[in-house]
Structure 1
C-alpha cells in the first residue's frame, strides 16, 4: 500500500479490511493467484472495488502514487519497501498465497550454482 505520514512505532495500526474497502485493489498482474485470492477476499470483505492491471511494475507505480493497493510478491516490492516508497501492513485475515520462482539451466555447474545462490540471497534471503 502507499506510505503514510507516520513511522512504524508511532503510527496507528492499519486496518487492512478498511483499506481494502476504501481503495481500489489492483488485480491480475500475476497469473497464478488472483482468482483464488479474489474469491476469498470477496467472502470476507464485501464491496471490494477492483481494477485489472496487467503488469506488476504498473501496479507498483499506481500504489506509489496513492491510487490504490494490491497484493504483490515480496521479491517484486523488496526495494520499494526498503526505500520506504511502499508499505506492507500486517495481514492476518487469512493465509496469503505463495508464489514459486524457478531458474532453468541447461547444466548446473559451479557458475550456475553461484548465480542461483546470489539470486536467492538477494530476493529471498
Structure 2
C-alpha cells in the first residue's frame, strides 16, 4: 500500500471511512454523518486513490473491509483520537485552561466539607478544569486504571500495583441518634440499652466495618433490630427524622453536630473501629499535588 503521505489526507475522509467501516453500509454511514450517499462514496474513492489501495469490498448492499482496510482502520482511529485531543487542548488553551483533573469520591465524602474545598480550589485556580464523579470505593481503582479519572478518594486500597495510594485520614465511628432524645434543659439521658430497644440500627452504609459492628451489636444488644441502608446521607436523614440510630464516621457527622441536627452518644460498650480513607492515583501531576494539599490542609478527622 503506497500512499502519498498522511499529512495530505483530509480529516473528513478519515471520519467517513471510520463510520463506513463501523456500519459496513454507505447508506447508514450517510445518515450518521448527515451527508448524501454519493458524498460518502466520493470520500472513500478519494481516500483509496490517495492510499493507492482498495479499502472495501462491495457485496450487494454491504461493504466489508479488505486486509488493507483493516490495517488502515487502526491508523485512522489513532488519527481521529489525536485530532480530537488536539482540538480539546486548543480549546482549553483559548479558555486559559492548562490541565484537567477528574476526581472520583466515595458517596460518604459528599457529606463532608470536601465538596466545599473542591469548589474553593476551582475558584482559586481557574487555569485547571475539575470534574467530580461520585462512585463506590470498590470501583474507583477500575476508573483510575482505565484513565477515566486521575484522583480517587475511597475506603479501599488498590489491589493492583499499577494504582498507588496513601492514607488521607482516619476517623472514628460515633453513634448518632435523634435530637429529641436528649434535652439539655431537662437533663434527660437515655441509657444505651433503651436507645437500642427503642430504635432500629441502620447498617450497610460502611461495608468496611459493617460485619464487625453488626456482630457486636447482636452480641451486646440481642433485642435490637437492624435495617440495611446503603448510603450515609440517607442514614443521616432517617436519624434526623427520628427513625433510627447508626454508627457513622465522625467526619460525616461533623457538620450536623455543629448545626445541632442530631446527637452523639458517648459509646463504650465495645471498641468502635476507625474508618480509613485513601487517595488513589497512577501518577501525581502538579494539579493533583495542589489539590491533595488543599484537601489535607483542612481538618477532617
Q: What is the TM-score when the length of structure 1 is the normalising length?
A: 0.86
In structure 2, the residue matched to 1:39 is 215
Q: How far is the alpha carbon of 1:108 from its aligned partner?
A: 6.8
Aligned pairs, how many?
121
In structure 2, the partner of 1:117 is 296
Q: Which stretch of the first structure deviates more once superposed, 19-28 or 104-113?
A: 104-113
Structure 1 runs not aligned, ≥5 long: none
**Does the 8 Å contact 1:103/1:116 carry over to 2?**
no
Q: Deviations over 1:47-86 (max 9, x none)?
A: 1111111111101000000001111111111100111101
Write out per-residue CA displacement over residues 30-56 of structure 1, whole angstroms, 9 at most, x where no aligned residue: 111111111111111111111111111
Q: Which stretch has the larger CA shift, 101-110 or 86-95?
A: 101-110
In structure 2, what is the Cα distance between the partners aligned to 1:49 and 1:113?
40
Q: Which has the higher contact order (CA 8 A, sep 6+)?
A: 1
For residue 112 of structure 1, report the CA deviation from its aligned partner: 4.1
What are the residue-to-residue correspondences of 1:4-15 with 2, within 5 Å? 4=180, 6-7=183-184, 11-15=187-191
TM-score between the two structures when normalised by the length of structure 2: 0.38
User: Higher strand share goes to which structure?
Assistant: 2
Larger Cα-atom Rg: 2
- The separation in 2 between residues aligned to 1:79 and 1:52, in whole angstroms, is 23
User: Residue 74 of structure 1 corresponds to which residue in structure 2?
Assistant: 250
- Which consecutive residues of structure 2, in runs of 5 or more, have no partner in the other structure? 1-176
Alignment deviations for residues 67-116 of structure 1 (CA, whole Å, 9 cap, x no partner): 01111111111100111101101101011111101122432755245224
Written as runs of structure 1 = structure 2, the 5 A alignment for 1:50-61 is 50-61=226-237
Match of 1:93 among 269, 281, 286: 269
The answer to whether the aligner puts 1:27 opposite 2:203 as a matched pair is yes
